[in-house]
Amino acid sequence: MKNQNKRILFVEDNEKIIYANIRKFTRAGYETAAAPTLAEARLSVSEKTPDAIVLDIMMPDGSGLKFMQELRENGHSNIPVLLLTGLGAKEDIVRGLTAGGDDYLTKPYDFEELLARVEALLRRTGRVPEIVTKGRLSLDLAANAAILDQTNLLLAQKEFALLFIFVQNEDRCISAEYLYEKVWRAPMAGDTHALKSAISRLRDKIKGSGWKIEWSRGEGYSFVGE
* pLDDT tens, position by position, 113-127: 898 889 888 877 654
38, 86, 99, 179, 212 from 169: Cα distances, Å:
32, 26, 26, 11, 13
What the chain holds in terms of domains, given with CATH numbers, is 7-123 (3.40.50.2300), 131-225 (1.10.10.10)
Neighbours of 202 (CB within 10 A): 20
3, 10, 38, 57, 220 from 25: Cα distances, Å:
10, 10, 21, 21, 24
Rounded CA-CA distance 170/132 in Å is 13
Averaged pLDDT, 83-90: 90
Return the ∠ at Cα 104 (arms to 93 and 138), rounded to 5°.
120
Whole-model pTM? 0.57
**Which residues, including other chains, have CB under 8 Å from residue 81's CB and lie 6 or more apart?**
52, 53, 54, 55, 68, 71, 100, 101, 102, 103
Q: For the chain, give the mean pLDDT.
A: 87
Percent of the chain's residues with pLDDT above 70? 95
Rounded CA-CA distance 137/24 in Å is 34
Q: Per-residue confidence at 130, pLDDT binned at 50, 70, 90? A: low
Q: Per-residue confidence at 128, pLDDT binned at 50, 70, 90? A: very low
Rounded CA-CA distance 28/127 in Å is 18
The DSSP secondary-structure symbol of 175 reads -
